[in-house]
Amino acid sequence: MHLFSFAGQSSEHVSEPIEVRPLWRRDGGLALVCEKCLNVRFPEDFPEHAGDERLKLREWLKDRLKAEGHWGAVRATGTTCLDVCAPGRVTILIDPIGRGGQQRCLVFDPLEDRELIYATIVRELAPQPAAATEEAPR
């Protein structure tokens, strides 16, 4: 434990952080969906789509990942601005930390590319089945 003082107040005990390894960090990864793209930028570029339920992309991804058994190892979460701001697109950072891959920053049309977004996330992040390298018993 460490001692600290803040603005002249007495020292307090603070514990050290504890590192954890959730399933997505061990076996899959994260898809960070830029909420600013969806909630601010896209509606500015296309006002006719302001309030469109399809812009609730993170929620749709989460529900779909759960329904198809990928949730846990694959997480889709919202983030603030990723500072890409491609007109008419949503930015998604794919981080396959559990699979040892490289991060990818991709932009998609959030309305037309929903299936492509989902397929890309599953392809890049879902745990791969164990290779069938062992010979079956005879």
Q: Where are the domains of the chain?
A: 25-125
Q: What's the angle, vertex CA 66, arms to CA 61 and CA 70, rounded to 5?
A: 90
Q: Of 65, 60, 55, nearest to 109 (Cα)?
A: 55
pTM: 0.81
User: Residue 10 burial (CB < 10 Å; 0-12/13-18/19+)?
Assistant: exposed
pLDDT of residue 135: 47
Q: What CATH architecture is 25-125?
A: 3-Layer(aba) Sandwich (3.40)
Q: β-strands 74-79, 29-34: how paired? A: parallel
Q: Which residue positions in the chain have pLDDT lower than 70?
A: 1-12, 130-138
